[in-house]
Structure 1
Amino acid sequence: MHQKNFGSFLTSIEEKERVYHSELIRHGVNYEEAVQAAKIIASEKPNELLTPEETELVKEVCTAWLLKHKSYKHLNPLLMKFKQVE
C-alpha cells in the first residue's frame, strides 16, 4: 500500500482518493468525473506528467467544485440567520 503524508498523518493514496471524491460529490460534481479527477489529484503526479486531457478534466472539475463551494459558503450563514429568526 502506498503511504503519503496528508496533513498531519499518513494516509494511503486510496484513502486520499475517497476523501477527494467525497468532497467533489458533496459539492455537485458529476460522479464519474469526480472519480477520475480524485484519482489524478491523489496520485500527486507533477503537472508536466499529466496528459492534456487529465489537466483539462482536473481544471473543469475543480472549477465546478469551487463555484459550488463558494455558493455553499455564501448561503450557509444566510440559512443560519433565517433559522434564528424562526
Structure 2
Amino acid sequence: MEEQFSPTQKQEQSYRAELVKWGIELEKAIQVARILALNIPNENLSASEVELVEEVCKKWFEKRKQWEQFKQVMAQYGTSLEQLSWEDYQTATQRPEKDSTATSDSDEKGQ
C-alpha cells in the first residue's frame, strides 16, 4: 500500500532534500525544512530557531551562488553545461587536507 503524504509533508521532504543536497547537516536540514514547510512566521519562532533558519538559508544561498559561478566559468572554457554535475562541482571545490607527513618550517630550518 502506498503511503499518502500531506502537501505539507511533501513540501518538508522537498526542502529537506534540497538543503541536504547543498551540504546542510541533516539535523539542521530537518529542523529548517519543517519550519519552512509549515510557513511559521518569525514572530512565532524562538530566537534560536530564527537564527538557525537564517544560518541555513544563507549557507544554501551561498552554495547555489557558487554553483552558478562554477557553471559560468566552466562554460567559458567550453564545457557543456549538460555535462556538469553536482559531483564535478564538489570535486572541484574540495579543499585539500593538509598532509600530516609534510615537514614544518621549523623542521626544515633544523636540517
**Where does residue 70 of structure 2 map in the other structure?**
75
SS in 1 for 2:59: helix
Structure with greater helix share of residues: 1
How far did residue 31 of structure 1 move?
1.3
Q: Give the Cα separation in 2 of the matches to 1:14 and 1:81.
A: 40
**Where does residue 39 of structure 1 map in the other structure?**
34
Q: Give the Cα separation in 2 of the matches to 1:27 and 1:68.
A: 6
How far did residue 25 of structure 1 move?
1.2
Deviations 1:42-81 (A, max 9, x none): 1111111111111111011001101111000110122234
**Where does residue 20 of structure 1 map in the other structure?**
15
Percent identity over the alignment? 33
Q: Give the Cα separation in 2 of the matches to 1:22 and 1:42.
A: 12
The gaps in structure 2 that reach 5 residues or longer are 81-111
Residue 55, structure 1, aligned to residue 50, structure 2: yes
Structure 2 residue identity aligned to 1:48: E
> What TM-score results when the alignment is normalised by the length of structure 1?
0.77
SS in 1 for 2:40: coil
Figure out how many residues of one structure are paired with residues of the other and give that number. Answer: 76
Residue 29, structure 1, aligned to residue 27, structure 2: no
How far did residue 2 of structure 1 move?
8.7
23-32 or 64-73, which deviates more: 23-32
